[in-house]
Amino acid sequence: MRRLENLFEIMECPARYKVALASYQFEAEVEYWWGTVNPREGEDPITWERLREMMDNQYYPRDVRRVKEREFLSLKHNGVCYKIQ
């Protein structure tokens, strides 16, 4: 997702195209998942922000995010702990 966001920023991609362009890149399990959550004709489209949230919830569980946040907040470099508050 980060790579897509960087690409969108560089290309100055309008918000209305982001979900379609991102979903074109989906493969395997993510492509199958997208088929189950992709709105059908007549339903409200998914925004980019909502897609990011849905993917985070599906593929990056909350407990894993918390662990990564703690790791980030207790960074070490050359044995020195840098506590971020």
Non-local CB neighbours of 19 within 8 Å, separated by 6+ positions = 45, 46, 47, 48, 51
pLDDT in tens, 8-65: 999 999 999 999 999 988 888 889 999 999 988 999 999 999 999 998 888 877 777 7
pTM of the model: 0.63
Residue 1: helix, strand or coil by DSSP? coil
Structural domain spans, the chain: 2-83
Residue bearing the bigger pLDDT, 69 or 15: 15
Distance CA 49, CA 76 (A): 32
Give residue 17's pLDDT.
93
Centroid of chain to Cα 54: 8
Distance CA 85, CA 72 (A): 11
Question: Residue 64 is encoded by which pair of tokens?
Answer: 């894993």
Give residue 19's pLDDT.
92
